[in-house]
Structure 1
């Protein structure tokens, strides 16, 4: 019967795991990271929220038959 075989560790993966675990130590605010953070934290949710608010109540998908329009206004 074969028992568990020892795994061989890849040095590149081990280095990546350590870097990922200590990412907070190596992070620096640069213009690029500030721009990316702004886009994901402010701009994208703002655009999605604006689009949802602008089209709120415009379409009604319930109880429609074939040929009925889904537009409310």
Structure 2
């Protein structure tokens, strides 16, 4: 504690390379069939499924002002 300089640590070269790779990832991106498919799934399919579920369950349950013993489904 007295006189030790804890802020001076040896930097791991692998961690530095990983940080540089993550900050420069956009420079090395390429559209391949895999990245195109993955983009299509995350931009189109997943929101479509969530939207379909939201649309089909819209108004099915009323969760406001429910007390213990009340049913969730509106009859």
Per the TM alignment, residue 72 of structure 1 is displaced from its structure 2 partner at its CA by: 2.0
Per the TM alignment, residue 67 of structure 1 is displaced from its structure 2 partner at its CA by: 4.3
Q: Does 1:40 align with 2:42?
A: yes
SS in 2 for 1:15: helix
Q: C-alpha root-mean-square deviation of aligned residues, in Å? A: 1.6
Runs of 4 or more above 6 Å deviation: none
Partner residue, 1:4: 5
Q: Gaps spanning 5+ residues in structure 1: where? A: none
Distance in 2, matches of 1:64 and 1:19, equals 52
Q: Gaps spanning 5+ residues in structure 2: where? A: none
Distance in 1, matches of 2:69 and 2:24, equals 58
- Where do 1:1-73 residues align within 5 Å? 1-5=2-6, 6-73=8-75
SS in 2 for 1:56: coil
TM-score, structure 1 as length reference:
0.84
TM-score, structure 2 as length reference:
0.82
Distance in 1, matches of 2:18 and 2:67, equals 55
